[in-house]
Amino acid sequence: MKINVDYLVCEANAVCMGLAPEVFELDDDDQLHLLLPEPPPEMMDRVRHAVRSCPKAALSLEEN
C-alpha cells in the first residue's frame, strides 16, 4: 500500500507522527514528510490507525 498526503489540507498536527514516527515526520517548518511512502506489511496496522486519526483527513491509502 502507498500513503497519499493532501498537502493543501494537512495542518501539521503531528497525530500521524505520534502514532507511526518511523513513517511520518514533521520538519522544522511543519512540513510533513513520508519516510516510508510504501510501509512494509508489519507496519500497516499502525499506519492505518494514523491515517484514520488524521484530524483533517489529509491522509489516504492506495493499493499498489
Provide the H-helix boundaries in 1-63.
15-19, 44-53
Confidence (pTM):
0.93
34: phi then psi, degrees, rounded to nearest 5? -95, 115
Helix, strand, coil percentages, rounded to 5, for the chain: 30, 20, 50
In this structure, the number of other CB atoms found within 10 A of the CB of residue 64 comes to 5
% of the chain at pLDDT higher than 90: 98
At 64 the pLDDT is 79
- The pLDDT confidence band at residue 2, using thresholds 50, 70 and 90, is very high
Q: What is the mean pLDDT of residues 5-34?
A: 96
